[in-house]
Structure 1
């Protein structure tokens, strides 16, 4: 929910005012193992601009400036862009946190949304001043950098939706899909199927820089041979030229294309012009339906989080909000599942038990199981899928336990 007239913009996302006392929503099928049952639905929207009902006269200190005092609920801040360029993504994440609260019947959490597009640092200051003990978000790595010192000084941990490993650590945990993990997974799978000599086609951008390092490490770790890496600017001419150079670079069994599906479709015919090669992709292909329509892409492999439960979340999201969610919305949903699990042994008003984030058995959610390493980076169990005429087929399922 969003309200206007506040800097930063805020909205209570505890749940909606009407309809949920008589219509209890079940959790998405397959999440029962999270043991989230037993929490009662007692949720309502409390618009920040209106404030809560006044306290009894004999308790004049029950309301602080800003948000009302909570003695039986955990106060959690959600920092996402609700306006500006990334508003649609931020809103999808916020909506997904609402769905998670409703699905888990979580009456112990009070989640307040702060708009980072109005200034991430100011949003963090307000969140801390309002007494929030945990921050979900921000989405962008530059916003994490702005928020981290403020949260750290207040001893408030951050569960960010960024995939930039450079901002992790010292109280910052990142839940985003790290490209290096996808690359390591698909290269290891290819190596297990007999591919020995590897090449890669990688764009010249930040994602490409990370992918290059991850690819080198993955080939070495898998015991393969790195033949060539070609990079390109994001233009059709540069892409074709790099693909042609790679095709002529020597014998290769497999080629990684660390780019979106559209560019892979354009590059593959050129890459295969000098001989058939197994095509590999990254998590960027996960939601690209156009891949199945390209004959050249048939048989390509890519690694990503599982989409089984996400499909159910997307259906529920469309039913409630009238449109499809962004794929990153699952991060918002899973951040709430994680918080609900920890909240069972977390006393309201006290500091968030950050050591619980390092649980060896990790956490589960829409995107499968994950756990944080000692740097605060979510390590995810990934599946390998194959592109076919009818879409994607899982050829190597994601592990279900560590």
Structure 2
């Protein structure tokens, strides 16, 4: 999930999303109907948008995600202020080579912009495949390493989260951090994002402890973490891990060793409320983490469940964001609505999980709330900003 693109294609960035869409205003094209080529659009005509999803891989998780992304995209195709989206869905099978071929087919079909794919390697391949066609790729990845050129990431990035969490922690008097990270690509990228945020905001990284991805190595790292925290008077322990990896073990063993949020605030780079079972872990009680705007997310989830009878996938809202943003820009009647200048508006847009904006380097910023866990329940400590230019941005 981590690769960098050549910047061959200059791409569209930010989306002006309507709040939450309700009325169906887009249409599907008939099979075989052509789009016409080139990045410019014709005001009043349906805008050809290619949606690349990981369906066809044979993996149940990919099929569920693919359907959720398509559902969310179609949900956004309601009430777009008169703008029409001509959505075509292309299955990538979760494979980079297939994704690249499907992207080329989409461009041949006349797509003006590509929404997706999910996995970073596939997004990298897609960006390269259509780099000379003037078509932007708005991927669902959160990996900043693939951002740049004609490829943008819509997922919540480590940099975004680290800056929000360090900003909040600083406001609470936390200044001395020990970073605990996995020794893989995601872990080292997370470590670097945290370190940069701490240095930028005037704090100090007083210790860094890495561990290999095994239970034995996590256990072996506990004394090192304890030593780094106590030996350097750290008032915060910032962990890169997620709930599917080392968080359950770290959150159990560190308090047993005398290190907890009561002594040195635990901070997470990932969400600690997914899956819900994580909330009951004793060691995460009192920990801090960032997440999307709860009100916006609840509104989107409610609309999705009302339309489809189930809850969306955790990243399904990214497809909603992309379609709603495109529609909002297109509704202005500007033939250059999908250019980088239009998509990277500094004010940003409002999407399924709150405000967001894309940046010229292909990354994004999202308005995040800071939360804690008390008695196995999520409590918001700092509300998500409702616009940019506020604290945390």
TM-score of the two chains, using structure 1 as the length reference: 0.80
User: 1: distance between equivalents of 2:128 and 2:227?
Assistant: 49
Q: CA deviation at 1:283?
A: 3.0
One of 50, 55, 67 as aligned partner of 1:82: 55
One of 294, 304, 316 as aligned partner of 1:317: 304
One of 260, 266, 270 as aligned partner of 2:249: 266
**Alpha-carbon distance change, 310 to 35 in structure 1, aligned in 2, over 3 angstroms:** closer
| Equivalent in the alignment of 2:139 | 160
| Equivalent in the alignment of 1:377 | 363
| Equivalent in the alignment of 1:110 | 86
Point out the more displaced range, 154-163 or 188-197: 188-197
**Alpha-carbon distance change, 91 to 213 in structure 1, aligned in 2, over 3 angstroms:** same
Aligned residues: 354
Instruction: Please say if residues 41 and 105 of structure 1, whose CA atoms lie closer than 8 Å, have aligned partners that are also in contact.
Output: no
What's the secondary structure of 1:207's corresponding residue? helix
Superposition map of 1:380-395 within 5 A:
380-395=366-381
**Higher gyration radius (CA):** 1
Instruction: Please say if residues 371 and 381 of structure 2, whose CA atoms lie closer than 8 Å, have aligned partners that are also in contact.
Output: yes
Q: CA deviation at 1:198?
A: 0.9
Match status 1:327 vs 2:303: no
User: 2: distance between equivalents of 1:374 and 1:105?
Assistant: 27
Instruction: Please say if residues 23 and 79 of structure 2, whose CA atoms lie closer than 8 Å, have aligned partners that are also in contact.
Output: no
Instruction: Please say if residues 164 and 178 of structure 1, whose CA atoms lie closer than 8 Å, have aligned partners that are also in contact.
Output: yes
Instruction: Please say if residues 36 and 340 of structure 1, whose CA atoms lie closer than 8 Å, have aligned partners that are also in contact.
Output: no
Any gaps of 5 or more consecutive residues in structure 1?
A: 1-31, 52-62
Q: CA deviation at 1:287?
A: 2.7
Any gaps of 5 or more consecutive residues in structure 2?
A: 1-15, 389-393
**Alpha-carbon distance change, 105 to 366 in structure 1, aligned in 2, over 3 angstroms:** same
User: 2: distance between equivalents of 1:155 and 1:386?
Assistant: 44
User: 2: distance between equivalents of 1:46 and 1:370?
Assistant: 30
Point out the more displaced range, 275-284 or 93-102: 275-284
User: 2: distance between equivalents of 1:302 and 1:65?
Assistant: 44
User: 1: distance between equivalents of 2:240 and 2:327?
Assistant: 35
Point out the more displaced range, 166-175 or 204-213: 166-175
| Equivalent in the alignment of 2:291 | 304
User: 2: distance between equivalents of 1:115 and 1:359?
Assistant: 31
What's the secondary structure of 1:215's corresponding residue? helix
Instruction: Please say if residues 90 and 139 of structure 1, whose CA atoms lie closer than 8 Å, have aligned partners that are also in contact.
Output: no
After superposition, what is the alpha-carbon deviation per residue over 1:328-355, rounded to whole angstroms, capped at 9, x for unaligned? Answer: 001001111110111113467x783332
TM-score of the two chains, using structure 2 as the length reference: 0.82
Higher relative contact order (CA 8 A, sep 6+): 2
| Equivalent in the alignment of 2:18 | 34
User: 2: distance between equivalents of 1:343 and 1:351?
Assistant: 6
User: 1: distance between equivalents of 2:367 and 2:359?
Assistant: 13
What's the secondary structure of 1:393's corresponding residue? strand
